[in-house]
């Protein structure tokens, strides 16, 4: 069995697409395709990463003619390995989106407060929070400011949750 | 993450400056209003304006601390 055949077989055994494997290894999909068709060979660093990803030794990958039998399916009481603990590509993308959304909400809320303050200094009569009776009114201005504060809190929660390992 | 921490610190300082300016302006306006225009609400109501800005400042400081912690952990 050649290296390219082994790479193809291992990828199929682990039900990964070329894109998923490429993302995990930090290479392009075309690179994975070339490895599997024998047009190129992964470098040493990538070979080590592939052996860790598929949990086989470099000897099995490079030297031996056949691949070792795939491991028996883990039981519920089995201890998850370090490989299982690594974040999957889908989780990483969701975390990234969560962080960006959180930042957008946070900075958006801060901008709302800052813009409201700037407008207040230019048009104080329209943006003050007290009415003719000098009582505090919960009108559109106040709600606008409170929404800004709520957006900051929401954005912070989203950002922190998405950033946790 | 380190840059984000700096950004949040700057935003917290900016919010505090804006909060002080706004509260001070409203306080002095209400003080004048109570003295000369017969307004019933005292100047202390100006401090209600600080609430959303305080929320923003606290959140920014917490986020700056969180980002700094994550940078140190990496």
DSSP result, A18-32: HHHHHHHHTS-HHHH
- CA separation for the pair B71, A112 (Å, rounded): 29
Summarised one tens digit per residue, pLDDT across range B13-51 is: 999 999 999 899 888 888 888 888 777 777 888 888 888
Determine the average pLDDT of the residues in A139-161.
Answer: 87
Residue A129 falls inside a structural domain: yes
Residue A32 falls inside a structural domain: yes
8 Å CB contact between A29 and A18: yes
CATH assignment of the domain containing A54: 1.10.260.40
Q: Return the structure tokens found at B68.
A: 């700094």
- CA separation for the pair B57, A156 (Å, rounded): 12
Domain encompassing residue A128: 89-163
Closest residue in A to B12 (Cα–Cα): A110
Domain encompassing residue B49: 2-73
pLDDT higher than 80, residue A165:
no
- The ipTM value here is 0.83
Q: Is A132 exposed, middle or buried (0-12, 13-18, 19+ CB in 10 A)?
A: exposed
Residue A81 falls inside a structural domain: no
Cβ neighbours of residue B71 closer than 8 Å, sequence gap 6 or more: B1, B2, B5
Name the domain count of chain A: 2
Compare A64 and A22 and report the one with higher pLDDT: A22
Name the domain count of chain B: 1
CB-based contact A136 B45, cutoff 8 Å: yes
pLDDT higher than 90, residue B54:
yes
Q: What is the CA radius of gyration of chain A?
A: 28
- CA separation for the pair A100, A107 (Å, rounded): 11
Give the end of a domain, one of A67, A97, A122.
Answer: A67
pLDDT higher than 60, residue A141:
yes
Q: Which pLDDT band holds residue A73 (cuts at 50, 70, 90)?
A: low
Summarised one tens digit per residue, pLDDT across range A3-31 is: 888 888 888 888 888 888 888 888 888 88
Angle (nearest 5°) at CA A19 between A13 and A21 = 50
Instruction: Return residues 8-27 of B near A (CB < 8 Å).
Output: 11, 14-15, 18, 21-22, 25-26
Element (H, E) at A164: none
Q: Is A32 exposed, middle or buried (0-12, 13-18, 19+ CB in 10 A)?
A: buried
Give the end of a domain, one of A67, A102, A117.
Answer: A67
Q: Which of A45-49, B15-19, B67-71 has the highest mean pLDDT?
A: B15-19
Q: Which pLDDT band holds residue B57 (cuts at 50, 70, 90)?
A: very high
Per-residue pLDDT at B6: 92
Chain A residues with CB inside 8 Å of B25's CB? 120-121, 124
Compare B6 and A75 and report the one with higher pLDDT: B6
């Amino acid at each position: 069995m050649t290296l390219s055949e082994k790479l193809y077989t291992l990828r199929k055994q682990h039900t990964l697409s070329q894109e998923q494997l490429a993302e995990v290894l930090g290479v392009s999909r075309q690179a994975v395709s070339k490895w599997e068709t024998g047009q190129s060979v992964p470098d040493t660093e990538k070979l080590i990463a592939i052996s860790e990803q598929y949990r086989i030794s470099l000897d099995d990958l490079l030297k031996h003619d056949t691949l070792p039998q795939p491991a028996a399916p883990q039981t519920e009481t089995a201890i998850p390995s370090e490989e299982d603990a690594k974040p999957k590509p889908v989780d990483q993308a969701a975390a990234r989106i969560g962080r960006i959304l959180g930042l957008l909400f946070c900075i958006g809320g801060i901008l709302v407060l800052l813009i409201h303050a700037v407008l207040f200094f230019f048009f104080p009569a329209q943006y003050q929070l007290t009415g003719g009776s000098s009582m505090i009114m919960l009108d559109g201005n106040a709600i606008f400011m409170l929404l800004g504060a709520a957006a900051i809190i929401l954005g912070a929660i989203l950002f922190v949750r998405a950033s946790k390992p | 993450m380190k840059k984000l921490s700096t950004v949040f610190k700057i935003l917290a300082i900016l919010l505090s400056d804006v909060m002080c300016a706004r509260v001070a302006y409203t306080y002095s306006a209400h003080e004048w209003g109570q003295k000369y225009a017969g307004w019933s609400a005292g100047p202390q109501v100006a401090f209600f304006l600080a609430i959303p800005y305080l929320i923003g400042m606290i959140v920014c400081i917490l986020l700056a601390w969180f980002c700094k912690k994550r940078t140190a952990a990496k």
